[in-house]
């Protein structure tokens, strides 16, 4: 636990001292602040516009950051050979991996909380009622970031940062289109396309299950069982990816 | 599982490593072949060899960074990847790369925590180590601002933070200026005084001569010599260098001598022969009215030993296996 905390806090410190994290964080907060300007072009739907733009900014910025941080997490350490100094300590490689991922998630969590706070302060400033769906959307976004980071993490354990980032970005879009891929392929007359579509659907993480932004925009109530199901889905998928990363990393030779 | 107090810090038997390279992993390169090595407590052992000799591969297997293809490596009688054995080991890789965004002090703190230290004892130990490696003044600077010598020192600091019983150092003095090299040597010797076993690899022969009790010479992945530095140097028959004038090399051969080394410079001839041959040669040259300019024993150095070993090995180890 002691070593785990040291690794996680070090990961957080790395992100904090990374200019990219700082710039993205500041930019996101500035953008969130600017969403108040959008209210000038709308007359009645303050709630919807603020929620749409606010949650959209949070999601895009944090997803970009999650991809950037996770895709370079291991590959950078391996390329620079920093990993030699750390994995030679009396810690398992699995602990090193999980500690690094925890550091990443700690960074994203702090930013998510900060952005969430700015978002709700804005809502209060305009005296707009806050709905539970907004909390759900922000909370479940954390699990989407976790899943995305775990995927970037797996890629990073055996490929370069650029390859990891490109594949993880592709996976993000494909994951949000998983339902459409399934629907389109099932309408095809070709049996092969139907099978390929089904396999793709089941292999890809269904990220639309982790997006509650539409419900938040329309202040729709969300059943707790549905939210818990989505969280369980995202967590299980991410844990499976972390397990895969551990297997790959444990087998790896550092030449 | 507790470590065996009687087990040697390093025990390697028949260690081999073959790397698989290429996209399909179809190319095989043998980096190390059947290495046997033991390093005892309080001993400084040097792995000497040219580039590609398998020195770093040996160290990487010992540190669990690569898996051996064959044979066995044990640290204190345990597998290299076990936490118990790692607790006893400090490691400095070749061209160490600590986290650049941390200060030297923060990096030592992280290394200490990963080695199981905490609280006041860690703070106190960090202070001691910074003093030992001469980095107190630069401790608050980010590592990205360090020179190569400073990085090498902080890397050694992280290796000794938990008072290990074994230090494994890969080219610890490479890239250092003469003062830095001297300080690094002093630090290694101080660790030996403390009873720490040290294994380090280098291609710098003066480092081995200054620091090592024992040496293993690797060439092309094969161990070609091993023993104490003293034994290796005295095992070779002493040679005498004779400088003659007015005697051609053909005449030396005609007398039946086969010198180990010969060179003609103008009408001078430089020969290296055994003690007995040198004595009879001097008599024959005098009888032949030749002139003896110089006669002196030749000190056999590690460099000679190393060069001899290099010429002996003409194997395919270290090259691609078809």
Write the DSSP assignment of A58-102 as a string of letters.
Answer: HHHHHHHHHHHHHHTTTHHHHHHTHHHHHHTSSS-HHHHHHHHHH
Domain boundary among B233, B260, B281: B233
Residue B121 vs residues A91, B36, B103, B127: alpha-carbon distances, Å: 20, 39, 20, 10
In chain A, residues with a C-beta closer than 8 Å to the C-beta of B158 are 85
Average predicted confidence (pLDDT) for chain A:
89
**Domain ranges for chain A:** 2-251
- Cα–Cα distance measured from residue B286 to residue B277, given in angstroms and rounded to the nearest whole number: 14
pLDDT number for residue B316? 45
Mutate which: B102, B106, B114, vs A, most A CBs within 10 A: B114
Residue A39 pLDDT exceeds 80: no
B149 touches chain A (CB under 8 A): no
Q: In terms of residues, how long is chain B?
A: 322
B130-185 pLDDT, tens digit each: 999 889 999 999 999 999 889 999 999 999 999 999 999 998 887 788 888 888 88
How far does A174 lie from chain B, in Å, by closest CA? 27
Dihedral (CA of B249, B251, B254, B255) sign: negative
Tell me the C-alpha distance between B208 and A111, whole Å: 53
Domain count, chain B: 2
Residue A29 or residue B295, greater confidence: B295
Residue B131 domain-assigned (yes or no): no
pLDDT of residue B319: 55
| Chain B closest-CA separation from residue A5 CA (Å) | 9
For residues B210 and B270, membership in a common domain is answered with: no
* A88 contacts in chain B (CB < 8 Å): 63-65, 86, 89, 91, 93
Provide the 10 A C-beta neighbour count for residue A59.
18
Output the six-digit token pair for A45.
């739907």
| A92 CB within 8 Å of a chain B CB | yes
Decide if pLDDT at A148 tops 90.
yes
Cut 0.90: pTM above it: no
Chain A residues lying within 8 Å of B63, measured CB to CB: 84, 88
Task: Return the SS3 of A55.
Answer: helix
Helices (H), chain A: 2-16, 19-38, 46-71, 75-80, 82-87, 93-125, 132-156, 161-176, 178-187, 191-203, 213-217, 224-251
Chain-centroid distance, C-alpha A213: 15
Structure-token match 């089904």, residue found: A198
- With CB atoms and an 8 Å threshold, state whether A10 touches B99: yes
Q: Whole-angstrom distance between the N-terminal and C-terminal Cα of chain B? A: 42
Say yes or no: B181 and B54 in one domain.
yes
Which runs of consecutive H residues, i.e. helices, occur in chain B? 55-62, 83-86, 104-114, 119-132, 148-160, 178-193, 205-211, 229-235, 249-254, 275-287, 302-312
Q: Which structural domain range is residue B267 located in?
A: 237-299
Element (H, E) at B30: strand B27-39
Condensed to tens digits (0 to 9), the pLDDT of residues A183-219 reads 999 998 889 999 999 999 999 999 999 999 989 888 8
- Of B182, B206, B233, which one is at a domain's C-terminal end? B233
Predicted ipTM > 0.90: no
- Does residue B227 belong to any structural domain of this protein? yes
Question: Rounded to whole angstroms, how far apart are CA atoms B307 and B226?
Answer: 15
Q: Residue B12's closest CA among B63, B65, B71?
A: B71
- The CATH number that applies at residue B254 is 3.30.70.980
What token pair was written down for A243?
A: 């397990």
Which of B87, B89, B96 is nearest residue A85 as measured by Cβ atoms?
Answer: B96
Do B23 and B84 belong to one domain? yes
Q: Which two tokens stand for residue B293?
A: 């300019």
Query: Does residue B319 sit within a domain?
Result: no
Q: What distance in Å separates the CA atoms of residue B86 and residue B280, rounded to the nearest whole number?
A: 59
The pLDDT score that the predictor gives to residue A6 is 95
Tell me which residues of chain B, numbers 45 to 104, contact chain A at a CB-CB cutoff of 8 Å.
60, 63-67, 83-84, 86-87, 89, 91, 93, 95-99, 101-102
Place of tokens 């001993």: B43
Regarding whether B280 and B172 lie in a shared domain, the answer is no
Record the tokens describing residue A164, joined without a space: 């990891």
Residue of A nearest to B162 (CA): A89
Please report whether residue B316 resides in a domain. Answer: no
Per-residue tens of pLDDT for chain B, all 322 residues: 667 778 899 999 999 999 888 777 788 888 888 889 999 998 999 998 888 888 889 999 999 999 999 999 999 999 998 999 999 999 999 889 999 999 999 999 999 999 999 999 999 999 999 999 889 999 999 999 999 889 999 999 999 999 999 999 998 887 788 888 888 888 888 888 888 999 988 878 888 888 888 988 888 888 888 888 777 776 666 788 899 988 888 889 898 888 888 888 888 899 888 888 888 888 888 888 888 888 888 766 777 777 777 776 655 445 555 4
Looking at the structure, do residues B18 and B74 belong to the same domain, yes or no? yes
Tokens of B48: 């000497």
Q: Is residue B64 situated within a structural domain? A: yes
**Domain boundary residue, one of B233, B266, B287:** B233
| pLDDT given for residue B107 in this prediction | 97
Could you give the CA distance from residue B122 to residue A41 in angstroms, rounded to a whole number? Answer: 59
- Least confident window among A35-49, A106-120, A229-243, B256-270: A35-49
For chain A positions 69-88, those within 8 Å of chain B (CB to CB) are 80-82, 84-88
Are B59 and B186 part of one and the same domain?
Answer: yes
β-strands B320-321, B27-39: how paired?
Answer: antiparallel
B32, containing H or E segment: strand B27-39
Cα three-residue angle B5-B6-B11, rounded to 5 degrees: 110
Is B42 part of a structural domain of the chain? yes
């Amino acid at each position: 636990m002691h070593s785990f905390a040291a690794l996680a806090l070090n990961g957080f410190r790395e992100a904090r001292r990374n200019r990219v994290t700082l710039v993205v964080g500041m930019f996101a907060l500035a953008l969130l602040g600017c969403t108040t300007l959008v209210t000038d072009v709308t007359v009645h739907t303050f709630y919807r516009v603020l929620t749409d733009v606010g949650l959209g900014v949070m999601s895009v910025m944090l997803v970009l950051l999650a991809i950037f941080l996770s895709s370079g997490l291991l590959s950078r350490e391996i390329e620079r050979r920093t990993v030699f100094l750390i994995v030679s300590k009396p810690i398992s490689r699995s602990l090193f991996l999980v500690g690094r991922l925890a550091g990443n998630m700690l960074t994203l969590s702090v930013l998510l909380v900060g952005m969430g706070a700015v978002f709700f302060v804005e809502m209060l400033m305009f005296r707009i009622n806050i709905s539970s769906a907004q909390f759900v959307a922000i909370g479940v976004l954390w699990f989407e970031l976790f899943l995305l980071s775990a995927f970037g993490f797996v890629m990073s354990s055996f490929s370069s940062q650029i390859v990891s980032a490109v594949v993880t970005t592709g996976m993000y879009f494909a994951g949000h289109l998983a339902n459409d891929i399934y629907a389109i392929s099932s309408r095809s007359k070709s049996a092969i396309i139907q099978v390929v579509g089904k396999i793709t659907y089941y292999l890809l993480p269904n990220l639309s299950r982790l997006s509650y932004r539409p419900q938040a925009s329309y202040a729709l109530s969300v059943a707790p069982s549905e939210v818990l199901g989505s969280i369980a889905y995202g967590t299980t998928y991410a844990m499976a990816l972390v397990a895969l990363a551990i297997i790959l990393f444990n087998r790896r030779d550092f030449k | 599982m507790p470590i065996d107090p009687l087990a040697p810090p390093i025990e390697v038997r028949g260690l081999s490593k073959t790397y698989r390279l290429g996209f399909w992993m179809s190319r095989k390169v043998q980096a190390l072949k059947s290495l046997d090595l033991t390093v005892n407590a309080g001993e400084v052992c040097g792995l000497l060899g040219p580039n590609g000799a398998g020195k770093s591969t040996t160290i990487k297997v010992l540190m669990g960074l690569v898996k051996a293809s064959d044979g066995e490596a044990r640290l204190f009688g345990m597998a290299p990847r076990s936490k118990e054995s790692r607790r006893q080991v400090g490691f400095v890789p070749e061209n160490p790369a600590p986290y650049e965004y941390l200060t030297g002090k923060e990096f030592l703190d992280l290394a200490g925590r990963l080695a199981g230290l905490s609280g006041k004892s860690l703070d106190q130990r960090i202070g001691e180590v910074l003093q030992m490696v001469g980095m107190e003044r630069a401790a608050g600077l980010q590592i990205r601002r360090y020179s190569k010598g400073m990085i090498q020192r902080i890397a050694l600091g992280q290796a000794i933070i938990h008072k290990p019983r074994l230090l494994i150092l890969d080219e610890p003095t490479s890239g250092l200026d003469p003062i830095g090299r001297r300080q690094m040597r002093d630090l290694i010797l101080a660790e030996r005084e403390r009873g720490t076993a040290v294994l380090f690899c280098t291609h710098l022969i003066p480092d081995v001569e200054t620091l090592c009790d024992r040496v293993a010479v690797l060439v092309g992945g094969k161990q070609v010599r091993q023993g104490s530095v003293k034994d290796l140097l005295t095992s070779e028959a002493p040679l005498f260098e004779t400088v003659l004038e007015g005697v051609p090399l053909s005449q030396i051969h005609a007398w039946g001598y086969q010198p180990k080394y010969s060179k003609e410079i103008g009408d001078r001839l430089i020969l290296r022969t055994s003690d007995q041959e040198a004595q009879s040669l001097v008599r024959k040259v005098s009888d032949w009215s030749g002139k003896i300019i110089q006669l002196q024993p030749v000190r056999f150095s590690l460099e000679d030993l190393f060069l001899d070993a290099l010429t002996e090995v003409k194997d395919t180890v270290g090259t691609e296996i078809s």
